[in-house]
Amino acid sequence: MDSDLCHHIACVGLNVNSTAVIIGAMLISPLMGPILGMGYSLATYDFKLFRKALANFGFAVGASLATSTLYFLLTPLSEAHSELLARTQPNIYDVIIAMVGGLAGIVALSSKQKGNVIPGAAIATALMPPLCTAGYGLSTANWSYFFGAFYLFTINTVFIAAATLVTVRFLKYPIWHQTEEGLKQRANMWVSIIVTITMIPSIYFGYVLVKRERFKQEATRFIKNETYIEGDYLLKSDIDPLQKIIHLTYGGKLIPEPTKKKLQEKLKNYTLMDAKITIQQGFSFADANNDLLELTQQQAEINRLRSELSLNLKRQDSIQQRSLLGQQLLKELKPLFPEVQACATSEQVFYNDSLKMQRYHSLTLQSRDIKKTFANKERITTWFQHRLQQDSIRVYIERAL
């Protein structure tokens, strides 16, 4: 498999946040072979094979970084999605995954019945996506993304090779090349040093991750048990584990400073001694007997919020109905036009030079027989007009993937 194709698949998957595409890139990654080769050659002290595997590995890494950087420089989609962000903060758990994946990979290669272990190990260790994420960091000059992703790639590389080395020696593979004892000791020493240096930062990052998760758990428990204030309603709560801040937004009467201080003091009961609470009021009202006008304004605000909530619920129901409409249309189209494989529908708004607005209902079809579907386009358009009881209709046809 051409390595450039693999790079492009991984980059596109990260760019559009598609897990399925990213998994495909993992399966055809050209990096697993050279890494296993490096581990095997070190285990058997075949330094000629090690240099060859290292050269192949270096070429693949360089090509991947160059290709991914170029892709992210050219693509119009520049937002960092969750699939990309997930590969910028490695920790000790990634070391464990790399070790287990490497063990599974080399054991499967050593067995006559490989089954689906090799694809599973390739997906678990995920070599190509973090390297492409590093390319994204280079293209955007975001060095925290670059170093985080490249460190994750380094973890996977080192510990897959280390797992291979351990397994090959455990299985007592034959050593075909005579090597001086001093050279063997130096090789083993350098392997130990590299493994240790690679692991140490991940232990720290794992410790930070655990601390953040514990802070989130304690802060969530605190919010659930201690944030009730008579005469006020907690509208929103946010937890910032990095800054150790709990943001609370209330609606209701103005909260006095002593109440805020009392709430801050309660943090001591939840191992949140160094945390801080910030309190904001989405809306507040003073004593109703002294300020009836303000109370009326707040009631109007409540009514407005209720109206907005009702409108959002209706809009959500409308969106859900539109998403189900495409499924229903496909069921109705298939008996009439069997060549249609998939369809989608939406409402579009167009503006002309005079800024006059026109609304259209569009129907996009994916067909395995483009010519036949284009021949039936007029019939499909007429059917769609009658189906929606709308005159402003546009039908688009494209080849099924």
Per residue in 30-48, pLDDT tens? 677 788 888 888 888 888 8
Pairing of strands 232-240, 245-253: antiparallel
Residue type, 168: V
Other CB atoms within 10 A of residue 40 CB: 21
- The arrangement of strands across the sheet holding 276-285 comes to 232-240, 245-253, 276-285
What pLDDT does 25 receive? 55
Other CB atoms within 10 A of residue 91 CB: 19
Closest CA to 395 of 324, 353, 333: 333
What pLDDT does 329 receive? 82
User: Which DSSP string corresponds to 118-136?
Assistant: HHHHHHHH--HHHHHHHHH
Instruction: Please report how many Cα atoms fall inside a 13 Å half-sphere around the Cα of residue 103, on the Cβ side.
Output: 8
Where is 247: in which H helix or E strand? strand 245-253
Assign 31 to helix, strand or coil: coil
Cα-trace Rg, the chain: 30
Pairing of strands 357-367, 245-253: unpaired
Residue type, 227: T
Q: Which two tokens stand for residue 334?
A: 């298939």
DSSP 8-state assignment for residue 254:
P
DSSP 8-state assignment for residue 44:
T
Q: Which residues neighbour 192 within 8 Å (Cβ) at sequence distance 6 or greater?
A: none
Residues of the chain with pLDDT under 70: 1-30, 77-87, 108-126, 282-296, 312-323, 353-355
| DSSP β-bridge partners for residue 349 | 359
